[in-house]
Amino acid sequence: MLGDRAHVRLHRAGLAVALVAGYVASVLLSIFVSRTGGAAASLWTATGFLAGAFVLLPRPWRIGVAASCVFAQGAIALIAGDGPVQATLYPLVNLLEAALAGWLAIRFCGVRARRLSLRELALLPIAAITPAVAIAAGLGALINLALRGEPLLDGWLGWAIQGGLGMLIVMPAVLLASRVGQYREFDRSGPETAAILAGMGAVVAAVFLQNDLPLQFAIFPALTLIAVRLGPPGAAAACLLTAMIALPLSVLVEGPAALSHGLDGVGRVRLTELIVVAALVSTLVTAVAVGDQARLRQLMLGRDRAARAARLRARRAEAAARGQGSAQSEAVSPGERVASVA
């Protein structure tokens, strides 16, 4: 029992560390890389990691992860040159957004199921992400109005678009990637999984490091192959990897989005985010469908094996009964047989 408890604590600690690391890395990406590229506040994927923590972890762990994320974002914002008011209020709004998205996902989307179906994944953006982002965007717009004089509609749209797309990219992928133990039919060796994800990273880098050809379509078949081979958890990890490579490159070197001459820097990042979201949706749908088919096949094979074993046991029992009957008949004496006939 103690070993099981220690294993659970270790698993939760590793998950908490991974989610905090993802949040901090996303904040660094959004604050420093986007500002360096001249597309300030053009992408925000951090809140999806915090929302995943509210779904996947129990209450004490949530508090620790939330406090770490809020403190880290505030410190990074101060180092980046933001004022103390912004460095305090913005992390709190992100905390509210993540907590609300996590609560709605648990309450209305059934995201605590052992395996997520297409129904849960479809409800997630409709019943959890959209309402949470809309409410948080309203608060963010009020803060921007008070601090910067930004019009409410512009502030709401800016916050809602970047927060909604970012959470839509990250949160489903985090929820599926954390369920790797529930998809035993897709167990692969460590070297094979690492090689597949490394190859995917190379493909994404090759696509988004050039701006001469619109090669964004190349990531779709690659992600589909990963969905078939590694299942939902591997597909989710591949989608996260794709987002973490494609979005920074779209800011720093523009990538294929530069061919859209009618878009500014922020518009190009938005286009890349939409492409990543489209790839995410199609990949996860394929992965979940393949996972359901694989599970159904295993269930049918298991039932067939159980039926065969039951038939074999019945035949053995029948043969044993016949053997006992013949043995008893042989044990009857000739006098008893004559008496019984008489």
> What does the pLDDT look like over 254-278, one tens digit per residue?
788 888 877 877 788 888 888 988 9
As a whole number of angstroms, the distance between CA 308 and CA 328 comes to 30
Give the residue among 74, 64, 60 at the shortest CA–CA distance from 19.
Answer: 64
As a whole number of angstroms, the distance between CA 92 and CA 76 comes to 14
As a whole number of angstroms, the distance between CA 24 and CA 4 comes to 30
> CATH topology for 1-178?
Arp2/3 complex 21 kDa subunit ARPC3 (1.10.1760)
**3-state SS class at 213:** coil
Q: Are 250 and 45 in contact (CB under 8 A)?
A: no
Give the residue among 121, 126, 129 at the shortest CA–CA distance from 287.
Answer: 121
Give the residue among 170, 159, 180, 176 at the shortest CA–CA distance from 49.
Answer: 170
Give the residue among 50, 51, 61 at the shortest CA–CA distance from 23.
Answer: 50
Flag whether pLDDT at 249 surpasses 90: no
Between the CA of residue 306 and those of 42, 192, 303, what are the distances in Å?
A: 56, 33, 5
What integer is the mean pLDDT of 287-309? 80
Q: CA torsion sign, 61 to 63 to 67 to 69?
A: positive
- Quick: pLDDT tens for 24-43: 998 988 877 666 554 445 67
Q: How far is CA 83 from the centre of its chain?
A: 34
pTM of the model: 0.81
- Quick: pLDDT tens for 101-147: 999 999 999 888 888 888 888 899 999 999 999 999 999 999 999 98
Give the pLDDT band (50/70/90) at residue 195.
Answer: very high
Instruction: Enumerate the CATH 1.10.1760 domain ranges in the chain, comma separated.
Output: 1-178
Give the pLDDT band (50/70/90) at residue 177.
Answer: confident
Both structure tokens of 262: 């009618």
Both structure tokens of 55: 């779904």
What residue type is assigned to position 230 of the chain? L
Give the residue among 280, 272, 128 at the shortest CA–CA distance from 207.
Answer: 272
Both structure tokens of 134: 């809309």
- State the alpha helices, DSSP H only, in 184-264: 190-208, 219-252
Question: Where is pLDDT greater, at 307 or 61?
Answer: 61
Q: Are 242 and 250 in contact (CB under 8 A)?
A: no
Q: Are 165 and 274 in contact (CB under 8 A)?
A: yes
Cβ-defined contacts of 54-60 (< 8 Å, 24+): 54/98, 54/99, 54/101, 54/102, 54/103, 55/102, 55/105, 55/106, 55/111, 55/112, 55/175, 56/15, 56/19, 56/174, 56/175, 56/178, 57/12, 57/15, 57/16, 57/19, 58/12
Q: Which residues contact 198 (CB under 8 A, 6 or more apart)?
A: none
Quote the pLDDT of residue 140.
92
Quote the pLDDT of residue 342.
43
